[in-house]
Amino acid sequence: MGKKQMAKRICILLLSTLTMLFISGCEAAGIGTEVRLEGISMYLDGKLISGLPSQKADIVLKVALSEISISSTGPDTVIRLKPGDAAITIKPDGISITGVDPQKLKIEWQDTEQNK
């Protein structure tokens, strides 16, 4: 095998490997995909939690996302994020988030001046 042919095969192999790493890295990181729940108040046992940096927060989920499905049963609404098992359930007494890695969830406190 000649040097040109060997160099060509190495370049193709290297390019294929880098492409696969980039694709799998982007999918795992969920690059560019954020689901935001804005203006959420934090309650415990029906009472507003005191001592927080703000009474309102934005909850940001960073997940790989290709599909969103929304369903409702009575007063409850469920938002499912696919691929994966992430679900946001909105009920009259609050919101629950399941199936999300805690490291992919971020709370951004809203400025207290904005809430006035």
Q: Is residue 105, in this structure, part of any structural domain at all?
A: no
Structural domain including 4 reads: 1-30
Q: For 85-94, give one letter per residue: b (16+ CB within 10 A) or e.
A: ebbbeeeeee
Whether 4 is covered by a domain: the verdict is yes
- pTM for this model (two decimals): 0.63
User: Among candidates 59, 42, 39, which has minimal Cα distance to 114?
Assistant: 39
In-domain check, residue 113: no
Q: What is the pLDDT of residues 47-69, one digit of tens each?
A: 788 888 888 888 888 887 778 88
- At 30 the pLDDT is 47
